[in-house]
Structure 1
Amino acid sequence: MINFLVFCLVFGLLHQSGAVQMDKLGDYKTCGDPECSYALSMATALDDFIAPDCRFINIKKEQMVYVYSKLVPEEDAGVFWSGSIYGVRYVDQMGIVGYFPATMVNETQTFREDNVKLPTTDMDFFCH
């Protein structure tokens, strides 16, 4: 009964917030820790990237990006990483975490060498 109540509460909150479940971009990801809370690396954007939907973030050329997770590539799928942009000129987007194509950035500094492979969940691709 308690599990049903928790489900109803979570479903109700997500429904009221306008959250949308999007298609998964991958089944597995690598992170620096089991919670994916530590940045794996820092990267520099090679070009502008305009987010095609709410799972992604906009990135401007030469902007710094903290990389938090890397989706494990699947057949016929692009390679996407998850991260947050960093920079004074785009303050309104700082702290927003989203996906971007790995080909759009050049890793400049690695923070964590030991990575953890984890399955992705539906919440990894939830839009708020």
Structure 2
Amino acid sequence: MYFSFYFSLLVCVLLPLSEAGRQMPKLSDKKLCADSDCSNPILIARALQDYYPGDCRFIPIRQGQLIYVYAMLKGRGNLYWAGSVQDSYYGQQEARIGHFPSSVVEETHPLMPATTEVQTTKWDFYCY
């Protein structure tokens, strides 16, 4: 009985502190994509260094990993891109799209021009 009481108390205290399931501040109002749905990758980039994200809007990147870039946030000097990290072995890492600083990667293969300007939505910066 005491266990369930303390567990409930712990959940009530820690859940509001979690970033999961809540809206995070917008990084930009617009983004550049290859299409209106941002579903086609713009380019493939390689990580120059490890990147450890500060919050759930961002994805962790290890040096040497390939990243498929789907969007470039517009404004603030194009500091952030959105993409998916690809590991050296298919299936080794669960696919997840998130943001990362453009300064930690180098473009390796352009795929499509990022000519479509799209408004960001609350789902672009929602933490799951």
Distance apart, 1:48 and its partner CA: 0.2
| Contact 1:87-1:94 within 8 A present in 2 as well | no
TM-score, length of structure 1 as denominator length = 0.78
Equivalent pairs counted in the alignment come to: 109
Give distance in 2, aligned partners of 1:99 and 1:37.
15
Report what 1:79 is aligned to.
79
List aligned pairs for 1:98-109, cutoff 5 A: 98-109=98-109
The verdict on how the C-alpha distance between 1:114 and 1:54 changes in structure 2, with shifts beyond 3 A counting, is: closer
The verdict on how the C-alpha distance between 1:90 and 1:19 changes in structure 2, with shifts beyond 3 A counting, is: farther
Per-residue CA shift, 1:74-128, capped at 9, x if unaligned?
Answer: 2xx7710000001136955441000000000001011102520111111110010
Q: Structure 1: which 4+ aligned runs deviate by more than 6 Å?
A: none
List aligned pairs for 1:1-128, cutoff 5 A: 19-74=21-76, 79-88=79-88, 91=91, 93-113=93-113, 115-128=115-128
Q: Could you tell me which amino acid in structure 2 is paired with residue 27 of structure 1? A: D
Unpaired runs of 5+ in structure 1? 1-17
The verdict on how the C-alpha distance between 1:104 and 1:23 changes in structure 2, with shifts beyond 3 A counting, is: same
CA RMSD of aligned residues (A): 1.8
TM-score, length of structure 2 as denominator length = 0.78
Q: Could you tell me which amino acid in structure 2 is paired with residue 99 of structure 1? A: H
Matched position secondary structure for 2:56: coil
Give distance in 1, aligned partners of 2:121 and 2:127.
13
Which structure dedicates a bigger proportion of its chain to helix? 1
Q: Could you tell me which amino acid in structure 2 is paired with residue 36 of structure 1? A: C
